[in-house]
């Protein structure tokens, strides 16, 4: 299978990162560093209690990143570990993907089959407290450290949900091992396959292709139609989304990554040939479809390769680079924005469906989004 080597979270070791930027040449930067040194010296000499220089420096770094967008954060050793675990397919916790939106800790989506979903947590819920402590001014990394924990332990969260009689909902959830079931597939009708992609982890593209070929074998012939379900898919590795785009699309632009410089900007084009030759494709999305799943949905929509059914997606379209610092710590910084082939900025806007349909469960008889996707395929 063809591989792309650009990750949604780009991991790199950049020991001289700050020295490589022209920002240090600015006069105001020198002035800021001078003020920082004075403040550090003032605390070390005059504060009522002894404080280590290392602790002060790390707090200063954290403060700098807290002043940026919600996805740019300082990572403790535990934060770095949690970041890596999130791409490996399983972890201990309640199974929920979160972000900070408009200053509020917000659920992108609960992970399929996880404790949070079973408890009733929904995409769009605003987490107002964790174990009785307010989440105000809490960043994503700190929140994850509080939510995750040993299997068998409990965590209490209070969420605010719009459009309900009781605005605040309280959940006490038992943590357990959450396994990311990346791909589920079945034949929904003769010649029509259904594949649900729950997350983009390291093997998702290979698993998807294997499931597709399994459906063709079960069908005994090429599939005439395919429903790709990206509902509540919070994203993951951009490399995997690009690989899937290339399976469906045989030419043209599939993604535009726009950074401040040429070094952080890149256009991705499909290569000749399609590994998914099915002619009629419908993609189901909802508010819980984010980041890498929006890249895939946007490319399939703009190329005319698929019809998008459901509701507007979450709108998380940016690239973060992870840079290790000393002492097993690091930083995660936003380095680029993602645009669909037609130039639509995904961040905050999301992907608009071709066919707007609300609601949705797994059973086609009570799932209006899946029913409409099947109807759309039959009319193609």
Q: What is the pLDDT of residues 217-234, one digit of tens each?
A: 999 999 999 999 999 999
Lowest model confidence (mean pLDDT) among 13-27, 50-64, 229-243, 318-332: 13-27
User: Can you tell me the mean pLDDT for 85-105?
Assistant: 82
User: Can you tell me the mean pLDDT for 143-147?
Assistant: 89
Phi and psi torsions of 129, nearest 5°: -155, 150
Is residue 36 predicted with pLDDT exceeding 90? no
Separation CA 189–CA 17 (nearest Å): 54
Is residue 115 predicted with pLDDT exceeding 60? yes
Asked if residue 167 lies in contact with residue 160, where contact means CB atoms within 8 angstroms, the answer is yes
Q: Which of 229, 246, 302, 367 is catalytic?
A: 302
Q: Which residues contact 354 (CB under 8 A, 6 or more apart)?
A: 301, 307, 308, 309
Q: Which residues contact 77 (CB under 8 A, 6 or more apart)?
A: 327, 328, 329
- Token pair 């509020």 is found at 104
Q: Which of 109, 289, 291, 321 is catalytic?
A: 291
Tokens of 102: 């408009």
Separation CA 263–CA 278 (nearest Å): 36
Of 109, 110, 91, 107, which Cα lies nearest the Cα of 99? 107
Lowest model confidence (mean pLDDT) among 28-42, 130-144, 173-187: 28-42
Domains and CATH numbers, the chain: 91-179 (2.30.42.10), 183-378 (3.90.226.10)
Start-to-end C-alpha separation, the chain: 29
Q: Is 316 known to be catalytic?
A: yes
| Structure confidence at residue 366 (pLDDT) | 83
| Structure confidence at residue 11 (pLDDT) | 33
Asked if residue 300 lies in contact with residue 281, where contact means CB atoms within 8 angstroms, the answer is yes
User: Can you tell me the mean pLDDT for 253-273?
Assistant: 94
Is residue 26 predicted with pLDDT exceeding 70? no
- 157-216: pLDDT as tens digits: 999 987 666 678 999 999 999 887 779 999 999 999 999 999 898 889 999 999 999 999
Asked if residue 105 lies in contact with residue 163, where contact means CB atoms within 8 angstroms, the answer is no
Q: Is 302 known to be catalytic?
A: yes
- 333-352: pLDDT as tens digits: 999 999 999 999 999 899 99
Separation CA 261–CA 16 (nearest Å): 18
Separation CA 208–CA 152 (nearest Å): 32
Separation CA 161–CA 150 (nearest Å): 27
Q: Is 34 known to be catalytic?
A: no
How many Å is the Cα radius of gyration of the chain? 22
Is residue 1 predicted with pLDDT exceeding 70? no
Is residue 275 predicted with pLDDT exceeding 70? yes
- 278-335: pLDDT as tens digits: 999 999 999 999 999 999 999 999 999 999 999 999 999 998 888 888 778 899 999 9
Q: Per-residue confidence at 15, pLDDT binned at 50, 70, 90?
A: very low
User: Can you tell me the mean pLDDT for 41-55?
Assistant: 90
Q: Which residues contact 227 (CB under 8 A, 6 or more apart)?
A: 188, 192, 193, 194, 195, 281, 282, 283, 284, 370, 373, 374, 377
| Structure confidence at residue 158 (pLDDT) | 96
Query: In the β-sheet with 355-356, what is the strand arrangement from edge to edge?
Result: 183-189, 192-197, 225-229, 280-285, 307-310, 355-356
Lowest model confidence (mean pLDDT) among 23-27, 102-106, 227-231, 347-351: 23-27
């Amino acid at each position: 299978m063809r591989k792309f080597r650009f990750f949604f979270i780009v991991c790199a070791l950049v020991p001289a990162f700050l020295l490589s930027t022209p920002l240090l040449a600015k006069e105001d930067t020198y002035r800021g560093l001078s003020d920082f040194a004075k403040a550090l010296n003032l605390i070390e000499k005059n504060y009522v209690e002894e404080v280590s220089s290392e602790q002060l420096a790390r707090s200063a770094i954290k403060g700098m990143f807290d002043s940026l967008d919600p996805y740019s954060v300082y990572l403790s050793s535990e934060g770095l570990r949690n970041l890596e675990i999130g791409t490996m397919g399983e972890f201990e916790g309640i199974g929920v993907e979160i972000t900070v939106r408009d200053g509020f800790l917000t659920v992108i989506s609960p992970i399929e089959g996880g404790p949070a979903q079973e408890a009733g947590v929904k995409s769009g819920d605003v987490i107002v407290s964790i174990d009785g402590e307010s989440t105000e001014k809490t960043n994503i990394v700190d929140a994850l450290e509080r939510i995750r924990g040993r299997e068998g332990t409990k965590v209490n969260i209070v969420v605010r949900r719009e459009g309900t009689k009781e605005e605040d909902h309280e959940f006490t959830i038992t943590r357990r091992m959450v396994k990311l079931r990346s791909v589920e597939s079945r034949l929904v009708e003769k010649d029509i396959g259904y594949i649900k992609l729950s997350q983009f982890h390291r093997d998702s593209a290979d698993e998807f292709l294997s499931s597709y070929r399994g459906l063709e074998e079960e069908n005994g012939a090429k599939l005439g139609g395919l429903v790709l379900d990206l509902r509540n898919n919070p994203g993951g590795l951009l490399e995997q989304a690009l690989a899937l785009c290339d399976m469906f699309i045989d030419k043209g632009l599939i993604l535009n990554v726009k950074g401040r410089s040429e070094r952080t900007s890149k256009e991705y084009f499909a290569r000749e040939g399609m590994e998914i030759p099915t002619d009629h494709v419908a993609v189901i999305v909802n508010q819980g479809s984010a980041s890498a799943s929006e890249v895939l949905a946007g490319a399939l929509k703009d190329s005319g390769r698929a019809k998008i059914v459901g509701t507007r997606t979450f709108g998380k379209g940016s690239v973060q680079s992870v840079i290790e610092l000393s002492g097993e710590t690091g930083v995660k910084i936003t380095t680029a924005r993602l645009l669909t082939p037609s130039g639509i900025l995904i961040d905050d806007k999301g992907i608009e469906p071709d066919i707007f349909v609300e609601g949705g469960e797994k059973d086609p008889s009570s799932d209006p989004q899946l029913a409409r996707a099947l109807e759309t395929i039959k009319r193609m």
